[in-house]
Structure 1
Amino acid sequence: MTLWRVLALIGLLAGLVRPSLAQEALSAADRGAIRQTIEAQVDAFRRDDGDAAFDYASPAIQAMFGTSATFIAMVRQGYQPVYRPRSFDFREIVTLNGAPTQKVDVIGPDGRAVTAFYPMMRLPDGRWRIDGCYLRAPDDPQA
């Protein structure tokens, strides 16, 4: 289990997911920009455009993986549901460990459903970037 998944599970178990705070704190423009950022990254995955997908990752994620090639290889191997989704259905934005986090119901290429949690980070210039992705099975009581 990756460090990001462990941290997400800890946050979820501790009850740090609060839908109302995230919804109230974000403008409609912010919610739209968050959705557009995630959609653009998934579109880049579908095109196998690692450079474009990597550009939508936060500076911390970029530093962790170093190159777009390393990043896209990790996504191909460990995140098939978001790399090649059959369906992608946006839900509410919640607060996870203090960060606005977009919930997305995903059907992966194998037909299995997961919920993807996308913590987001706003850059100083106002753009939104993806600061991780945590996958949870809908029937997983731990997350």
Structure 2
Amino acid sequence: MLHMRGSLQSFAGALFAAAFLLMQGPARAQDPTLAETRAIEALISSQIDAFRSDDSTRAYSFASPVLQRQFVNPETFMSMVKGGYQPVYRPKSVAFGRLREVKGNLVQEVFVVGPDGKDWTALYAVEQQPDGSWRISGCKLLDEPRVSA
């Protein structure tokens, strides 16, 4: 049974990564505004806070509708995060980098120190909803420490 659970988590993690890599959207006509940057940072911070308190319902609420359909319910979503995204599930520290456009989508760099003390860069893809709010549409963890100039 544990093997099947691990396989399900691996499959769910692969779906999450695939959603991130396959995102396509219309090109933006302008750079992100300060208001957009603040809203997106608040969104990601709120989801990380929900992870830290094991509030699966709240964490799931910040996911885009597409991700919510893929992961069916808050418990499945949280299981995937616990299994494959420990650096954002239980970060020791979080710092925001650039918000940039990638293939017509906004991607927020987030520098995290994972629970084991290792540095990671999390790339959060976000999408604006019809009501103007923002939701997280994917996260890709890169085994890259923050580079300072």
Output the TM-score relative to the length of structure 2: 0.79
**Identity, % of aligned pairs?**
41
Check if 1:110 corresponds to 2:108: no
Aligned AA (2:81) = V
Structural RMSD (CA): 2.2
Shift of 1:3: 4.5
Q: Work out whether residues 120 and 142 of structure 2, in 8 Å CA contact, stay in contact via their aligned partners in 1.
A: yes
Structure 2 unaligned blocks of 5 or more: 1-12
Partner of 2:54: 48
3-state DSSP class of the match of 2:50? helix
Q: Structure 2: how far apart are the matches of 1:10 and 1:112?
A: 28
Aligned AA (2:98) = E
Shift of 1:2: 1.7
The structure number with the bigger radius of gyration is 2
Q: Work out whether residues 62 and 136 of structure 2, in 8 Å CA contact, stay in contact via their aligned partners in 1.
A: yes
Shift of 1:5: 3.3
Check if 1:34 corresponds to 2:40: yes
Shift of 1:94: 1.8
1:7-52 Cα offsets, whole Å, 9 max, x none, are 76799xxxxxxxxx98x52211111000000000000000100000
Shift of 1:4: 4.5
